[in-house]
Amino acid sequence: MLLQRDAQGQPIAIRREDYSAPAFWIDTVDLTFDLDPAKTRVLNRMQLRRNPDAPAQPLRLDGDELNLARVLVNGQGASFRMEGDQLVIDGLPDAFELEIFTTCCPIKNTKLMGLFVSEDTFFTQCEAEGFRRITYFLDRPDVMAMYTVTLRANKAAYPVLLSNGNLVEQGELPEGRHFAKWVDPFKKPCYLFALVAGKLVAREQRITARNGKEHLLQVYVRAGDLDKTEHAMNSLVNSVLWDEARFGLPLDLDRFMIVATSDFNMGAMENKGLNIFNTKYVLANQATATDADYSNIESVVGHEYFHNWSGDRVTCRDWFQLSLKEGLTVFRDQEFSQDLCADASARAVKRIEDVRVLRTAQFPEDAGPMAHPVRPDSYIEISNFYTVTIYEKGAEVVRMMQTLVGRKGFEKGITLYFERHDGQAVTCDDFAQAIADANPDSELSRLLPQFKRWYSQAGTPRLAAHGVYDAQNRSYTLSIVQSCLPTPGQATKEPFVIPVNIGLLDASGRELPMQLEGEEHITHGTRTLVLSRAGEQITFVGLDAPPVPSILRGFSAPVILDFEYTDAQLLTLLANDPDPFNRWEAGQRLGLRAALQGIAALATDTTPVLNDAYIDAMRSVLRNPKLDAAFKELVLTLPSETYIAEQLDVVDPQRVHLVRDAMRAQLATALFSDWQQVYEENHDTGAYTPDPTSSGRRALAGMALNFLCLAARSSGDTVWPGKTLQRFKDAGNMTDRFNALNALVSSGHTLAAQALARFHAIFKDEALVIDKWFSLQAGAPDRGGDILPLVKQLMKHPDFSIKNPNRARSVIFSYCSANPGAFHRPDAAGYVFWSERVIELDAINPQVAARLARALDRWSKLAEPYRSAAREAIARVAAKPDLSKDTHEVVTRALAGN
């Protein structure tokens, strides 16, 4: 695609402030496809009318890599011109029919945007700007039209022909061809258009909604995969029921389809009535998928289904508003997964997992060169803004609104939002306004303009909290100062509205009643303090002794909390906090503190990193019969290398890796007999079900095996590695089998080689399992620099293909983005490998390349020699001529970062 460039030859940034309504509206679109992998013909007949509210302008239609054959206006040949990739027509009447005939070449479409072929099946991906690769169009989300789609193709090769909405007609055509005609009853932006054509089979289920209406649900896959669709279907049924029960949002279509493809740039896509999914988020049976896969499938199926309202019925006015649908829909899928949990502990586990993602991926983004507000102000390539900030931080912003108006108030707000805006393309402001208007007496309503700084200001706010006990007045004053570092393009920040959930414990860990100075009433349990000034003081009265504050319970705001907890206070919270999130958080703080001390200590220091109090506390957690296995597994998981690195001003990745490894080795040996017992108690989870309780037990048993093999490494014990190999061979499900394999591989045991070979032999025909096989090896702990040569070897394996995004991710991303100890090599070979792969991928699939380019976002924090070497590698990529604008934007921002 031709880049739009400025006078200096740089790609032009699109700015939010430049938004203007389209000069024309498109009311109806009638598309006819003659599907052929080498040359697909697309006939596009549209009814357009001039937008009376916009200044008179020519019609400018977007296109990309299309062959244009014909343009007719009201049936007559029309004069048009090309300006870059745009087709421009002047002198049009106020209302007219436009017919455009183009061809494209799906088989050569390695970008996987627009119409492409995967395993002999046609698929489309149009969000954000892929529809212009199918036909000339006003490719922007605020142009919403009614679609009729006719698909024609060879019947033997493409027996199933699908598009959005309802199938209204189908039949035979000459020469072994057939057709299907689909009508979508809802108007939609073109990014929600989809078609699928190929040899597919479907699992079907009919469900009856609350209003008695029947719907057909279908999950389409390749013939051999039908036995892996039950969980996706169950997740879809649960999603339909949940959205109706929790938010009163019903399924609005007679038929709702999910189709899986193994070649996909992302997880899944919410096309109206025809969701297209990466196979990774559809296919599961107990032999091939882990508990984590099951849980991801539930979330992603839910997420795409929930878009049917939050995204499809009400969509974004422009792509700067992306979080309007993504933040809200992530929030909705998180709530869905929590609501499916049977108990409070499982809900807390889900919350902790979500926060872990936020803190290990979004916080670094918000502190790095790609930092952007939840509603960005500019972009070069919108694909680069499908980020953890838009998604996960966006979800936290929605969650804070719920915290400020309460659960019921939030449901009222959602109802008002859909009443007001059904069928419209709107903004983040419209959303926040609806939630506030439905709750006029709330803190959100009172503080709305300030609250909306969460949309406009990038960066993670920091809360510096400090507590002082006044024995004479029996009071405790908490001073909290908020701050936020500058981010690219935003030198100063105004104070945020921050809901802080808080509780107080006494020294023995009992929850204390709470009374704020000036208040008459005493409250029990958690309460929400709403901070809105740069500095605030909150005084609690009626306290006989200094309390232990439990601040930011449930992670009530996406902020960094600094509080000078003593070890003793953290141990109290870890042992007693009734808020499970903060209980876990106390353990993380202790672990982090130990890691930072270990990193700061001299290299020659042989003092163990973890002290006895920490080990004893972990032992108590493991032995505590009242805690669930899933929760124990989270507490015993040390903060990740990425998270530890974020706390440092200058990062020596090898040192971080070494210290964390030492901590793990210490946990392995010091708790050896406990790990044995934990394994014995948890390894048998009976007949496989992916529910939170049994998956938690499998996770804890897997962790125990890991530590037991690690301990064996230093002691020379052969019993546990032997048992682990046996477990690997006998396992009745993929979770247990993979955990055993992982224990052997990550402890570097000699038995790992035979287990890996056996694993490959068993699963050679299961692409998603082979992805795991690749990923495990590329992500394994480095021993003397052995992982990079292995990664290069893996890329020569006959099963490797860089063109398949899942496979590329399983090898290249697992190494560059998820294996810091192996990637950050003092000889810079990891960075050289990275730059070569970014360049190689960029020519095939810019979206995947630009994602990989993000692996060095935090280069400027690195210690030497890593820092200079990383910068050089980024500069090498940036200097490459003809870079896609996706990769160009990422690397130029990275270089500008310092």
The answer to the question of residue 270 lying near ligand B3K (CB under 6 A) is yes
Comparison of 232 and 635: residue with beta carbon closer to ligand B3K: 232
The two three-digit tokens of residue 15, written as one number: 């700015």
Between 304 and 652, whose beta carbon lies closer to ligand B3K? Answer: 304
- Confirm or reject binding of residue 303 to ligand B3K (CB under 6 A): yes
User: Binding of ligand B3K at residue 304 (CB under 6 A)?
Assistant: yes
Per-residue interface string for the shown chain with Zn ion, residues 314-333, x marking contact by CB under 5 A: ------------x--x----
Residue from the set 128, 276, 629, 822 that interacts with ligand B3K by CB under 6 A: 128
CB of 286 to ligand B3K, least distance (A): 26
- String of contacts with Zn ion for each residue 640-679, x by CB under 5 A: ----------------------------------------
Q: For the CB of residue 364, give the shortest distance to Zn ion in the complex, in Å.
A: 21
Q: Are 398 and 444 in contact (CB under 8 A)?
A: no
**Structural element, H or E, at residue 68:** strand 67-73
Catalytic residue among 304, 381, 511, 585: 304
Site for ligand B3K in 240-269 (CB under 6 A): 266, 268-269
DSSP letter for each residue of 785-837 = S-HHHHHHHHTTSTT--TTSHHHHIIIIIHHHTT-HHHHS-TTSHHHHHHHHH
Least separation in angstroms between residue 134's CB and ligand B3K is 15
304 annotated active-site: yes
CA distance 748 to 701: 19
Q: Is 684 exposed, middle or buried (0-12, 13-18, 19+ CB in 10 A)?
A: exposed
Q: How far is the CB of 137 from ligand B3K (least distance, A)?
A: 17
266 is in the binding site of which of Zn ion, ligand B3K, none (Cβ under 5 to 8 A by kind)?
Answer: ligand B3K
Contacts of 307 (CB under 8 A, 6+ apart): 270, 325, 329
326 counts as binding ligand B3K under rule CB under 6 A? yes
Sign of CA dihedral 293, 299, 300, 301: positive
In whole angstroms, how close is the CB of 307 to ligand B3K at the nearest point?
6
The interface partner of residue 665, options being Zn ion, ligand B3K, none and the CB cut-off 5 to 8 Å by kind, is none
269 binds, among Zn ion, ligand B3K, none (CB under 5 to 8 A by kind): ligand B3K
φ, ψ of residue 150 to 5 degrees: the values are -115, 125
Between 383 and 482, whose beta carbon lies closer to ligand B3K? 383
Options 229-237, 302-310, 509-517, 607-615: segment touching ligand B3K (CB under 6 A): 302-310
Angle, helix 653-670 to helix 672-682, in steps of 10 degrees: 80
Shortest spacing between CB 299 and ligand B3K, in angstroms: 11
User: What are the CA-CA distances from residue 679 to residues 228, 308, 620, 742 (Å)?
Assistant: 29, 43, 16, 15
Cα–chain-centroid distance for residue 270?
15
Q: CA-to-CA distance for 563 and 824, rounded, in angstroms? A: 32
Unique residue bearing structure tokens 């293909």: 801
Sign of CA dihedral 248, 253, 255, 256: negative
What number of chain residues touch ligand B3K (CB under 6 A)?
Answer: 12
**Separation CA 184–CA 253 (nearest Å):** 9
842 is in the binding site of which of ligand B3K, Zn ion, none (Cβ under 5 to 8 A by kind)? Answer: none
The 3-state DSSP class for residue 259 equals: strand
Q: Which residues of 128-158 are buried (b: 16+ CB within 10 A; e: fewer)?
A: bbbbbbbbbbbbbbbbbbbbbbbbbbeeebb
**Shortest Cβ 130–ligand B3K spacing (Å):** 8
Calpha distance 453→461 (Å, rounded): 11
Rounded to whole angstroms, the Cα distance separating 655 from 605 reads 13
Q: Which of 428, 482, 475, 437 is nearest to 455 (CA)?
A: 428
| β-bridge mates for residue 45, sequence order | 30, 99
Is residue 386 at the binding interface for ligand B3K, with CB under 6 A as the rule? yes
Looking at beta carbons only, is 391 or 614 nearer to ligand B3K? 391
Which of 124, 383, 433, 746 binds ligand B3K (CB under 6 A)? It is 383
Minimum distance of ligand B3K from residue 746's CB (angstroms): 32
For ligand B3K, which residue of 30, 62, 64, 127 counts as binding (CB under 6 A)?
A: 127
Q: Give the interface with ligand B3K as residue ranges (CB under 6 A).
A: 127-128, 266, 268-270, 303-304, 307, 326, 383, 386
Q: Give the interface with Zn ion as residue ranges (CB under 5 A).
A: 326, 329
Question: Which residues are identified as catalytic?
Answer: 304
